[in-house]
Amino acid sequence: MPIQVLDEDTVNKIAAGEVIERPVAVVKELLENAIDAGADSVTVEIKDGGKSLIRVTDNGDGISEEDVRLAFTPHATSKIRQIKDLLSISTLGFRGEALASIASVSQLEMLTKTRDSFNGSRYVIEGGTEKSFGQAGCPDGTTFIVHNLFYNTPARLKFLKTPQTEAGYISSTVEHMALSNPAVSFRFINQNQPRLNTSGNGNLKDVIYNIFGRDITSNLLEADAIKNSCEISGFIGKPVISRGNRGCINYFVNGRYIKSNIINRAIEEAYAPYMMNHKYPFIVLYFKINPGLIDINVHPQKMEVRFTNEKELYNDIYNAVSETLKHKEFIPEMVFGGDKNNPGASVVKQDKGNNIKKEKQEEKEVILRVPEQKEINNLFGIVTENNSKETENKKEMPAKNTETKFREIAAYNAHNTRQETLFETDIMSAQAEKDIKITGQVFSTYWILEYGDNMFLIDQHAAHEKVLYERFMKQIENNQVFTQMLNPPVVASLSMAEQQVLEENMQVFKKLGYIIENFGGKEYMLSGVPAQLPDISTKELFLEIIDGLLDNKAVIAKETLLSRVATMSCKAAIKGGSSLDTRQAHELLKELMALDNPYNCPHGRPVMIKITKRELEKKFKRII
C-alpha cells in the first residue's frame, strides 16, 4: 500500500505526539516498521547504548523511490487511510510519526529497495533537513543508520542513562519482538558483540531457550485455548520458576507487546494457589482478540490498550491459565549436595548430549548430611523468624548472622530442588492409595510417606489448611455454607474506615457464613459465624479480615473472598508440633489426594516434597 499523508480529521483523532525520548524508542519504531513490511530477518546493531549508532536492517518490502521523501513527512503512513481504519488495526505502527520524529533529532541515513526495483534509494536527512537523495545499489529491504542521536537536543541527551542501561532497554525490546515473532530471525549486536540470534524457524520454545536458557525452557507448560473473548496460545512456567518481580510475564495482544492490569491480575490470580505471595510466574502468551473490541490508540508508545469486554476477558484468561495448571502434579524434589563444605554444590550435571557426567571434585569422603529442620521448613516455604501470619512458625533461628543463614538456605534450595510433574510417579492413581505407606513423623510436623522408589514429606499444617480451604470453597460455590449461631453474640467496635470497608464488603462476609448487624454507632454485632471454624477466636479473626480489606481496597470481590477463606483455613488448620495419630493422618492424606491441586496450600507454600531412593543410595555409596 503506498504512503500517503493522513487528513487533518484523522490526525486529530489518533493519540499523536510521538516523542523520541531515548534510543530504545528508535529501535522499537524501526523494528515495528520492519515487521509490518513483512521482513523475516532483522538485525539490530548499536554502539554506546544507541547514542552514537543504531543500525536496523531488514529484508522486508522496502520503500519505493517515489515514497521515500513522503515517508519522513509527519502523519504519512501506508497502514491506515481514514478514521474507521482505527477500529481494525492489524499492524504494529499506524500513526506515521516515527520516521519524522527520529530524523528530527539525529543524523539519519536510509538505504531501501523494493523487490521489483532494479536499483535502490539512498536518503540522508539530518535534524529534519534533507542532505541528499539518489539511487544506490542495495539488497531488498531497508537499512536505517542513525548517528549521533540527540546531537541537536543536548537537554534530552543529558537525561539519558549509562550506555549499559540504555543497551539493556534495547535488549529487552528486541527480546519482546523476538518472542512475539518466532518466525522472524532476530540478531542483536552491542558494541560489536553478538548478544542474541534467533533462528526464525517459528518454534517459540527455541526463542525462549535463546533468551531465558535451559532451566526455564525445561519447566514449561503449553497453553492453548479458544474462549469467547480471545484465542490463547503460548507457554506458561511451572510454579518452580517463579520470580520476585513481573519481569518474566510477557504477553502479546494481536502480536503487540503490551502491559495490562486486567491481564496481569487474571494470570496472577490463576497462579495464586500454586505460588507464594510476592512471587510471579514465567509467561509467554499470545492473545488473539477481535480488533474491534480493543483500543490501542491510547498512548503514543502503544503500550497501553483498552478492552471493551474487560470482565469476560479476565474470566477467560483466568480460566485458561487455571486449566493449564490443573491436574499437573508439582512436587519439589530434594537433592542432597555432594560437598559437605558446600551444601549448594551439585554432584552431577547434564551435558549438551543429555548424558550424565560427574563434576570434577577433590578426592575426599562425602558424608551424608541429613537436612536440619530449618532447611526442611524452608523447602516448605516456612519462614522461621518474625512470622506473625502463621502460628505454627515459632521455631527460632540463631540470632547471629541470620541474614547470612537465610542466603545460604536460599542458595541450597536453588541448587538442590527441581519441580516434578508427578504423572511420572503416579501418586494420584487409585493403586497409589493402596500402596502408600505412612512410616512415621519428624519434628512433630512432617509425615513421612513411602511410595515406590520415592519418599515424600508432607507438612500436616499445609495439608490440613488446603483440605479446609477446598472444602469451604466448594460449599461457597454450591451455596451450602453453614452458619453457627453465637449465644451470646460478639460485639466489635469499628473505626470509620473499618465501618466503610465492612459495609462495602457485606456480601463477602455473608458468603463466608457471617451474620452481622449494626448495633448502633460504631458497634457491630456478630450473631453468626462460619460453622466450619469453631475453634477460632471469633472477634480476632473478624477484625483480621477487616484489616486485610483495609490494606487492599482495590481487590475485587472474588479475590477478597479467596484471600479471606485462605486466612480462615490457615487459622483453623492443625499446627506444626501438634499431635496427630496415624489414623488421622491417613484420613487427611486421603482427602488431600482427592483434590485437584493437593500440592500447594492456599498461600502457595508446597504441601509435600520428594526424596528419591536413588538419591539416598548415592549418598550411602550403594550406587555411583
Q: 413 and 288, same structural domain?
A: no
pLDDT of residue 207: 95
Q: Where are the beta strands (DSSP E) in 48-104?
A: 53-58, 76-77
Residue 594 lies in a domain: no
Assign residue 516 the CATH number of its domain: 3.30.1370.100
Question: 418 has which bridge partners?
Answer: 333
Indicate if 252 and 280 belong to the same structural domain. Answer: yes
The reported pLDDT for the residue numbered 396 is: 36
Would you place residue 40 in the very low, low, confident or very high pLDDT band (cuts 50, 70, 90)?
very high
Is the domain of 610 the same as that of 560?
A: no
C-alpha cell at 2: 503506498
User: What pLDDT is attached to residue 414?
Assistant: 41
**Averaged pLDDT score across all residues of the chain:** 76
Indicate whether 321 and 335 sit together in one domain. Answer: no
Q: Do 449 and 345 fall into the same domain?
A: yes
Lowest mean pLDDT among 50-54, 198-202, 456-460, 496-500: 496-500
When pLDDT is cut at 50, 70 and 90, the band that residue 232 belongs to is very high
Given its phi and psi angles, is residue 192 left (phi above 0), alpha (psi -120 to 50 degrees) or beta?
Answer: left
The reply to whether 78 and 63 lie within a common domain is: yes
Task: Reply yes or no on whether the pLDDT at 305 is more than 90.
Answer: no
pLDDT value at residue 402: 34
Q: Could you identify the residue written with the cell 530449618?
A: 374
d(C-alpha 179, C-alpha 588), whole Å:
44
Same domain membership, residue 63 and residue 98: yes
In a domain, 593, yes or no: no
Give how far Cα 427 sits from Cα of 405, 424, 589, Å: 34, 8, 12
Q: What is the pLDDT of residue 358?
A: 38
Q: Which of 129, 163, 198 is the last residue of a domain?
A: 198
The structural domain count of the chain equals: 4
Whether 348 and 270 share a structural domain: no
Q: Which of 325, 340, 374 is the last residue of a domain?
A: 325
Are 179 and 61 members of one domain?
yes
Assess whether 472 and 451 both reside in one domain: no
> Which residues on adjacent β-strands are paired with residue 357?
349
Domain boundary among 198, 227, 253: 198
Q: Could you give the angle at which helices 23-36 and 163-180 cross, rounded to 10 degrees?
A: 20
Domain span at 155: 4-198
Q: Which long-range contacts (CB under 8 A, 24 or more apart) does 130-135 make?
A: 130/69, 133/68, 133/69, 135/65
Look up residue 426 and give its three cell numbers: 503416579
Give dist(CA 562, CA 472) in Å, integer: 10
Q: What is the pLDDT of residues 529-544, one digit of tens each?
A: 877 654 556 777 787 7
Residues 6+ apart with CB under 8 A from 529: 483, 484, 486, 513, 514, 515, 538, 542
Terminal CA-to-CA distance of the chain, rounded, Å?
67
Does the pLDDT value for residue 552 go beyond 70?
Answer: no
Instruction: Identify whether residues 415 and 476 lie together within a single domain.
Output: no
**Quick check: 457 pLDDT over 80?**
yes
Q: Are residues 453 and 474 in the same domain?
A: no
Question: For residue 344, what pLDDT band results from cuts at 50, 70 and 90?
Answer: very low
Among 53-57, 164-168, 349-353, the range scoring the smallest mean pLDDT is 349-353
Specify the CATH number for the domain of residue 70: 3.30.565.10
Q: Is the pLDDT of residue 390 over 50?
A: no
pLDDT at 465 over 60: yes
If one compares 343 and 320, the residue with the highest pLDDT of the two is 320
